[in-house]
């Protein structure tokens, strides 16, 4: 490879790499803190090499250093946005698990969160891992990589733009994820409200009974039964939410970007 070919190849490679690497920082599975940074870096390099052959080369780089920095930053931000949007459903389900665990009293013991590298509840991790298994079962990681590849056609390198449709799509996905979290946690919230009211009536009727001590056991037992039934009934809801999210990203996000070009 000659020096001129390297000069033409390097800018395109770098810009594609920054978009792919940005996506992998927050994307489901790829953005997990349990995956070593070197492994994620090598995976980003491999994906960049695989996509590079079908990406249109940059015709001309900006003349100023500020223009180059803005171009690189734009590609990185675009990748971060894609990864974050795809993680909305998993974050919403984990949030629902956090609320459920808090109502059951299980948040007294916390575990290490493998996705974000922080502490989280046992129930939240259970819901997150279940959703991740559903995501992988639906080949969501394949669809995610195809979406990144399609983004180079909908929005070529160094052509970052934001439109009303794009912002509306992102906001709609965030709103839908919030509604999903409340929907998943609602049965537990209603059940625990009924349990608390029942314990309150019992404490007024039988003052000698230590409701505080018995309440923890009752909440845990009833919560476990509701959670088991809820997991069976909400698995399809999680599956549909993941499918809808991927379809929205493909149809709405890429479509919105096409209008900006």
Q: How many domains does the chain have?
A: 1
Give the model's pLDDT for residue 261: 45
C-alpha span between 169 and 118 (Å, rounded): 29
pTM of the model: 0.70
Give the angle subtended at the CA of 42 by the CAs of 141 and 76, to the nearest 5°.
Answer: 70
CA atoms within 13 A of residue 129's CA, in its CB half-sphere = 10
Give the model's pLDDT for residue 255: 53
Question: CA separation (Å) from 156 to 49, 57, 108, 227, 247?
Answer: 17, 9, 49, 46, 21
Domain boundaries, position 59: 3-260
Structure tokens at 119: 């502490």
C-alpha span between 123 and 202 (Å, rounded): 29
Give the model's pLDDT for residue 259: 46
Mean pLDDT by 10 residues, the chain (261 residues): 62 83 81 78 87 73 73 80 79 84 70 56 80 82 79 72 61 76 83 84 77 76 84 79 73 52 45
């Amino acid at each position: 490879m000659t020096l001129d070919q390297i000069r033409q190849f390097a800018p395109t490679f770098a810009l594609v790499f920054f978009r792919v690497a940005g996506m992998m920082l927050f994307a489901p599975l790829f953005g997990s803190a349990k995956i070593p940074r070197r492994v994620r870096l090598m995976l980003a390099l491999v994906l960049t090499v695989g996509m590079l052959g079908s990406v249109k080369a940059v015709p001309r780089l900006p003349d100023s250093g500020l223009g180059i920095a803005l171009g690189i930053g734009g590609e990185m931000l675009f990748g971060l946005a894609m990864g974050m949007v795809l993680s909305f459903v998993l974050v919403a389900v984990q949030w629902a698990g956090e609320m459920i665990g808090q109502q059951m009293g299980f948040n007294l013991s916390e575990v290490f969160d493998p996705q974000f590298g922080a502490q989280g509840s046992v129930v939240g991790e259970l819901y997150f891992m279940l959703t991740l298994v559903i995501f992988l079962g639906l080949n969501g990681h394949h669809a995610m990589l195809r979406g990144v590849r399609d983004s180079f056609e909908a929005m070529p390198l160094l052509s970052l733009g934001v439109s009303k449709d794009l912002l509306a799509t992102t906001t709609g996905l965030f709103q839908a994820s919030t509604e999903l979290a409340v929907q998943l946690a609602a049965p537990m919230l209603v059940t625990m409200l009924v349990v608390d009211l029942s314990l309150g009536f019992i404490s007024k009727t039988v003052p000698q009974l230590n409701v505080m001590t018995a309440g923890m056991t009752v909440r845990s037992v009833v919560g476990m039964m509701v959670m088991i039934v809820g997991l069976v009934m909400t698995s399809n809801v999680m599956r549909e939410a993941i499918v809808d999210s991927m379809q929205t990203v493909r149809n709405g996000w890429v479509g919105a970007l096409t209008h900006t070009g």
